[in-house]
């Protein structure tokens, strides 16, 4: 009775908060540019003589940055026309991370128009020397066809690097409403952890407040993948992620490690020779042990769990597979090919053995971390069975391994369901069947990378109409209802991204928070699936505004070379969670009194319900 009453109270607060927090869809938003795709992502030299190149020599987030060299004037440097993303009357956040070996003053600016009539505004100025430094500020939008952000520095000779360039509608009103909504992780405190993927730049300002409000466990989208941590034998890099981990620990937010062994985004030295051919089985095994011992050892005590092996099975597996090993990735899986090179087939060895070794090395290095196998298309019958069969076989093998000092504890403790669904094909009944099969295999279940974009693979479509938004939200409600049903066996549900524009599937608006970081109908569906499916929620939208903080700046001594708008395919989100965006502004004053009245009424109603229930229980 008490649980039902409390759920009713939560539903009331959700509906009241929703009525007081209407939403407005924003224009298309530019994701963070991190140069992970190896291109300049639309940047060009202001003078046309500078050398700009994506490089892995330095990086603030991920693996790459943009190197700027061959400068001869202080104003020489990179520029990006963002007119496609800007509108007059809108306020925008703009920021960039800069690193220079030489101590000098850097400026982030905005140029509106070209030639003699061009206007220049300094958004931020900082002295940079040896460390990554963030330049950030706000600027009013403009409808001019040339509306460019640029970076310049006083030392005309110095080379430097830029990374994680951001231009987005300013955060304020709608984000504040999302922070004030009932916390997702608190709603599910008795069921499972609620997480999201992040990049280091997410752990700042209002955006971090949103994370802290709704999520209690995070997964690094790119920063803990093998390619981001090591490029050559014995060389490891942690400076791009350690500060974030320390910050999360200080704020009581848990961390899941993603990922130790993967066929993608891994350094060649681990399993390939200089000629591009697979290493021998013995060489690859030694490298894997060295890598996992180093990396899992570095993060020991800092992560609660690891995706030890990611996406080892093929994309499509027929029904009723007889042997999971027959369905592993092989030709496009360097670890498999290396382990196959020198395998004693007469003794039962095969390329598949790398999976068992990876889990053993991880267990021996960090016994305190829960170990997961993570894969996609897991709701399909054949893939579901292959994943379960693999866990059953390797866990049985571990029980007789002399290195096992904890009899009865599984080696593969959880199977991760990536849950990358889409509106055209998501099947809640198949999802439930997968959860049941994994429970039968004797392991825990993780919902590791959940999102539901509009349309279908590979052509995702935006959620535009009320009918589409309702359809997406209904699927979220049905899935979260299933997750709650099996919460004794599900320990974590992670959304793959904070909001739609940061998502790797941003074209399909796949997440709970939208372009303005406002709560979509999907949020209410996930927060209260029973109430949503009972028809208790409607969707309302509202508009925001703000003020600019930029100041006028001097034009460069020379006239900058004219630069075309960046091609659409060059200003795009990088893989996984390489992106950030949001929008918002101040709430209109006319609705402020209504917000306080409704929240107060909601609190009073919940209080009356709880008091009545307590008295009845006595």
Given pLDDT bands bounded at 50, 70 and 90, which one contains residue 538? low
CATH class name, domain 184-205+214-489: alpha beta
- Region of poorest pLDDT, from 73-82, 147-156, 519-528, 603-612: 603-612
Mean pLDDT score across all residues of the chain: 84
- Are 341 and 333 spatial neighbours (Cβ–Cβ below 8 Å)? no
- What value, to the nearest 5°, has the Cα angle with vertex 499 and ends 170 and 63? 90
In whole angstroms, give the CA distance from residue 570 to residue 38. Answer: 10
| DSSP-assigned states of every residue in 165-206 | EEEEEPPSHHHHHHHHSPPHHHHTTTT-EEEEEE-GGGSSHH
pTM for the model: 0.67
Given pLDDT bands bounded at 50, 70 and 90, which one contains residue 525? very high
Residue 13: the pLDDT is: 55
Residue 171: the pLDDT is: 52
pLDDT digits (tens, 9 = 90+) for 51-78: 999 999 999 988 899 999 999 999 999 9
401 flagged as catalytic = no
In whole angstroms, give the CA distance from residue 586 to residue 561. Answer: 38
519 or 44, which is more confident? 44
Given pLDDT bands bounded at 50, 70 and 90, which one contains residue 203? very high
Mean pLDDT of 184-205: 95
pLDDT digits (tens, 9 = 90+) for 277-309: 999 999 999 999 999 999 999 999 999 999 999
Under 8 Å CB-to-CB from 535, ≥6 apart: which residues? Answer: none
Residue 95: the pLDDT is: 92
Q: Which of 140, 357, 375, 509 is catalytic?
A: 375
Please state the separation of Cα 569 from the chain's center in Å.
21
Residue 550 pLDDT exceeds 80: no
**Total count of residues recorded for the chain:** 618
In whole angstroms, give the CA distance from residue 340 to residue 307. Answer: 23
Q: Which of 449, 500, 509, 528 is catalytic?
A: 449
186 flagged as catalytic = no
Domain range summary for the chain, segments of one domain joined by +: 44-170+547-572, 184-205+214-489
Residue 588: the pLDDT is: 29
* Residue 495 CB coordination number (10 Å): 28
End-to-end CA distance of the chain: 13
pLDDT digits (tens, 9 = 90+) for 384-438: 999 999 999 999 999 999 999 999 999 999 999 999 999 999 999 999 999 999 9
Q: Which of 50, 152, 311, 515 is catalytic?
A: 311
Kindly provide the b/e burial profile for residues 124-141, where b requires at least 16 CB atoms within 10 angstroms of the residue's own CB. bbeebeeebbbbbbbbbb
Under 8 Å CB-to-CB from 246, ≥6 apart: which residues? Answer: none
Torsion over CA: 587, 590, 591, 596 (sign): positive
**Burial zone of 208 (CB within 10 Å; 0-12 exposed, 13-18 middle, 19+ buried):** middle
Residue 1 pLDDT exceeds 50: no
* 8-state DSSP, 609: H
CATH class name, domain 44-170+547-572: mainly beta
393 flagged as catalytic = no
440 three-class SS: helix
pLDDT digits (tens, 9 = 90+) for 135-171: 998 888 888 999 999 999 999 999 999 999 988 876 5
């Amino acid at each position: 009775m008490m649980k039902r009453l409390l759920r009713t109270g939560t539903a009331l607060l959700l509906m009241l908060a929703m009525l007081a927090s209407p939403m407005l869809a924003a224009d298309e938003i530019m994701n963070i540019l991190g140069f992970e795709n190896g291109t300049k992502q639309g940047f060009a030299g202001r003078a046309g003589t500078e050398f700009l190149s994506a490089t892995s020599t330095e990086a603030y987030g991920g693996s790459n940055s943009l190197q700027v060299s061959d400068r001869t004037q202080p104003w020489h440097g990179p520029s990006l026309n963002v007119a496609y993303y800007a509108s007059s009357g809108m306020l925008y956040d703009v920021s960039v991370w800069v690193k220079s070996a030489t101590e000098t003053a850097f400026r982030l600016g905005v140029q509106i128009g070209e030639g003699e009539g061009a206007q220049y505004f300094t958004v931020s100025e900082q002295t940079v020397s040896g460390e990554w430094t963030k330049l950030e500020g706000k600027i009013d939008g403009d409808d001019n066809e040339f509306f460019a952000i640029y970076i310049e520095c006083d030392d005309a000779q110095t080379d430097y690097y830029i990374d994680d360039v951001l231009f987005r509608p300013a955060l304020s009103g709608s984000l504040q409403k999302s922070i004030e909504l009932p916390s997702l992780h608190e709603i599910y405190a008795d069921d499972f952890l609620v997480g999201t993927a992040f990049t280091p730049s997410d752990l700042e300002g209002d955006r971090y407040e949103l994370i802290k409000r709704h999520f209690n466990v995070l997964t690094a989208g790119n920063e803990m993948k093998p390619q981001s941590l090591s490029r050559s034998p014995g060389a490891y890099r942690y400076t791009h992620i350690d500060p974030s981990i320390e910050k999360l620990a200080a704020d009581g937010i848990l961390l899941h490690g993603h990922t130790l062994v993967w066929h993608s985004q891994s350094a060649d030295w681990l399993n390939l020779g200089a000629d591009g051919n697979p290493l021998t089985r013995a060489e690859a095994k030694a490298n894997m042990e060295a890598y996992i011992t180093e990396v899992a050892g570095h993060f020991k005590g800092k992560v609660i769990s690891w995706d030890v092996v990611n996406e080892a099975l093929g994309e499509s597996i027929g029904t009723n597979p007889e042997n999971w090993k027959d369905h592993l990735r092989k030709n496009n899986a360097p670890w498999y090919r290396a382990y196959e090179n020198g395998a004693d087939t007469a003794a039962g060895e095969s390329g598949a053995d790398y999976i068992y070794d990876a889990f053993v090395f991880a267990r021996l290095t960090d016994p305190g971390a829960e170990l997961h196998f993570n894969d996609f298309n897991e709701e399909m019958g054949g893939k579901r069975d292959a994943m379960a069969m693999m866990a059953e076989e390797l866990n049985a093998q571990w029980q007789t391994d002399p290195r096992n000092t904890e009899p009865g504890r599984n080696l593969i403790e959880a199977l991760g369901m990536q849950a990358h669904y889409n509106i055209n094909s998501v099947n809640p009944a198949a999802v439930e069947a997968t959860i049941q099969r994994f429970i039968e295999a004797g392991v825990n279940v993780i919902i590791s990378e959940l999102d539901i974009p509009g349309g279908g693979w590979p052509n995702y479509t935006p959620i535009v109409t009320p009918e589409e938004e309702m359809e997406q939200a209904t699927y979220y409600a049905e899935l979260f209802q299933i997750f709650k049903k099996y919460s004794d066996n599900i320990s974590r549900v992670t959304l793959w991204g904070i909001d739609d524009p940061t998502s790797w599937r941003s074209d399909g608006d796949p997440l709970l928070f939208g372009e303005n970081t406002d709560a979509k109908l999907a949020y209410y569906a996930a927060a209260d699936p029973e109430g949503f499916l009972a028809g208790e929620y409607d969707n309302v939208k509202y508009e925001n505004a703000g003020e600019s903080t930029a100041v006028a700046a001097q034009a460069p001594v020379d006239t900058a070379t004219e630069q075309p708008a960046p091609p659409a395919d060059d200003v795009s989100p990088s893989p996984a969670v390489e992106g950030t965006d949001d929008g918002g502004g101040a709430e209109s004053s006319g609705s402020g009194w209504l917000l306080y009245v409704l929240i107060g009424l909601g609190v009073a109603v919940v209080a009356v319900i709880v008091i009545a229930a307590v008295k009845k229980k006595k």
